[in-house]
Amino acid sequence: MSARAETVTATYLGTATVLLRIGDLTLLTDPALDPAPADYPGARPLHRTTGPALAAAELPPVDLVLLSHDQHADNLDVAGRELLTGAGLVLTTAEGAERLGGRAEGLAPWESRTVTVGATSVTVTATPARHGPEGTEQVTGPVIGFVVAYEGGTLYVSGDTVRHGALAEIGERFRVDTAFLHLGDAHFPSTGDRAFSMSASEGAELARTLGARTVIPLHFDSWTHLAEDPARITEAFAAPDLAGRLRRLRPGVPETL
Sequence ranges of the domains in the chain: 3-247
Residue 8's nearest CA partner among 16, 17, 18 is: 18
pLDDT of the chain, 257 residues: tens digit per residue: 344 454 899 999 999 999 999 999 999 999 999 999 999 998 789 999 999 999 999 999 999 999 999 999 999 999 999 999 999 999 999 999 999 999 999 999 999 999 999 999 999 999 999 876 676 666 667 999 999 999 999 999 999 998 888 999 999 999 999 999 999 999 887 677 888 899 999 999 999 999 999 999 999 999 999 989 999 999 999 999 999 999 999 999 999 99
210 in Cβ contact with 161 (< 8 Å): no
Residue 140's nearest CA partner among 130, 126, 152, 127 is: 130
Provide the mean pLDDT of the chain. 93
Instruction: Tell me the CATH number for domain 3-247.
Output: 3.60.15.10
| 37-79 pLDDT per residue, tens | 999 998 789 999 999 999 999 999 999 999 999 999 999 999 9
Report the C-alpha gap between 90 and 99 in whole angstroms: 12
* Cα 21 to Cα 5, 147, 188, 219, distances in angstroms: 11, 15, 35, 20
